[in-house]
Amino acid sequence: MEVKNRYVTVKNQLERDAEPKESDFEFKNTTISLALSDDGEVIVQNLYVSIDPYQINRMKKQSSSHKAIKSSSALSPGQVIDAYGVGRVVASTNSKFEKHDLVAGFLGWEEYSLIQGEFKLSFLRKLETSTDLPLSHQVGVLGLSGLTAYGGFYNVGRPKKGDKVFVSAASGSVGNLVGQYAKLSGCYVVGSAGNKQKVEMLKDKLGFDDAFNYKDESDLTSTLQRYFPDGIDIYFDNVGSKMLEAAIANMNPFGRVVACGAVSEYAYETNRASPNMIDVIYRRLSIQGFITPDYMKDYAEFASITSDYIRSAKLHVLEDISIGLESIPSAFVGILRGDNIGKKMVQIVERIE
């Protein structure tokens, strides 16, 4: 017994200074045997999978001296691309999961995923079927994107009421939530985004105190000085590069940079930020990186608080869903161009039952 599977993969490792194209991807057909080992494996039919910018870092050619992306995380051409998502169990030798269970965790850009190994199994989480919230929320706002925003903002940003918070890529899957958490924590929040429609949405729909289109600005340091005449206390960085430099030039003493992403640097290594270290030293700034799995221990707290915010309409959920496995390459290329508003995901099956 086996299931037919179809998945997306990269044809070649991506060049280190180029944007990905749809033609960098190809589809492959394979089969997954339903005869599982006794090691507690699970096969999941994928319903939604998450599309995240960080995946590009795994697809690129790795430099020999590059320790950042663990070799286990780097992707080879032809390999399945694992990704966060939601699915339904079709077979299990794991006592925690039964056939038909809805689950969330590290699945893959494919129709069916075989979940094995300690790391992936530890992330697999059974979903309540009786929840009033849409299943898609489990991919983004109640999934890895939400936990990234929550864990990074509260643990690394350490907000206090009245703090002035700047969020870049503020209409993205993580940024929009950071801004909303910041408002709910009594902070003053300004976001940057890449077009007028996004800027209006941040101000009108999500309650940001202000927002601007960075593409209209020639000198980001002056721009931030205009939006933060009293300086920035927390910069939640999703983009790196020139925006990071400009934010550091405008930070208040003891300000915190939450280094969440550097999407401007992902495709082009030469786009690196050159922050002024004299500012970092004299103003006692901290620049702190993090990755979301470090905060899995906070998942229950995060999900409970966030679900309550959603139910009471204090937090708006933005989802941008494409349909069908075949749409993954264009969805991925699109998020790196900033096409999405809110959480980008692909619904793998035509209809969610």
Would you tell me which residues interact with a copy of itself (CB under 8 A)? 57, 65-69, 221-222, 225, 231, 237, 240, 244, 249-250, 259-262, 265-266, 269, 272-291, 294
Q: What's the one-letter identity of residue 27? A: F
* Beta pairing class for 82-92 and 102-108: antiparallel
Q: What is the DSSP letter of 134?
A: -
Closest to a copy of itself by CB, 184 vs 277, is 277
CB of 17 to a copy of itself, least distance (A): 14
CB of 262 to a copy of itself, least distance (A): 4
Closest to a copy of itself by CB, 90 vs 249, is 249
Closest to a copy of itself by CB, 206 vs 287, is 287
Closest to a copy of itself by CB, 29 vs 72, is 72
CB count in 10 Å sphere of residue 65: 5
Q: Are 136 and 48 in contact (CB under 8 A)?
A: yes
Beta bridge partners of 192: 212
CB of 224 to a copy of itself, least distance (A): 10
Closest to a copy of itself by CB, 143 vs 261, is 261
Closest to a copy of itself by CB, 51 vs 257, is 257
Q: Does residue 301 sit in helix, strand or coil?
A: helix
CB of 250 to a copy of itself, least distance (A): 8
User: Residue 77's closest CA among 3, 37, 124, 25?
Assistant: 25
* Sign of the alpha-carbon torsion through 36, 122, 329, 87: positive
CB of 114 to a copy of itself, least distance (A): 26
Full DSSP string of 170-217 = TTBTTHHHHHHHHHHTT-EEEEEESSHHHHHHHHHTS--SEEEEGGG-
Rounded CA-CA distance 213/207 in Å is 16
> Which class for 321: exposed (0-12), middle (13-18), buried (19 or more C-beta within 10 A)?
middle
CB of 65 to a copy of itself, least distance (A): 6
Closest to a copy of itself by CB, 133 vs 280, is 280
CB of 70 to a copy of itself, least distance (A): 8
User: Residue 90's closest CA among 31, 27, 2, 8?
Assistant: 2
Q: What is the DSSP letter of 225?
A: H
Q: What's the one-letter identity of residue 173? A: S
CB of 151 to a copy of itself, least distance (A): 12
Closest to a copy of itself by CB, 99 vs 284, is 284
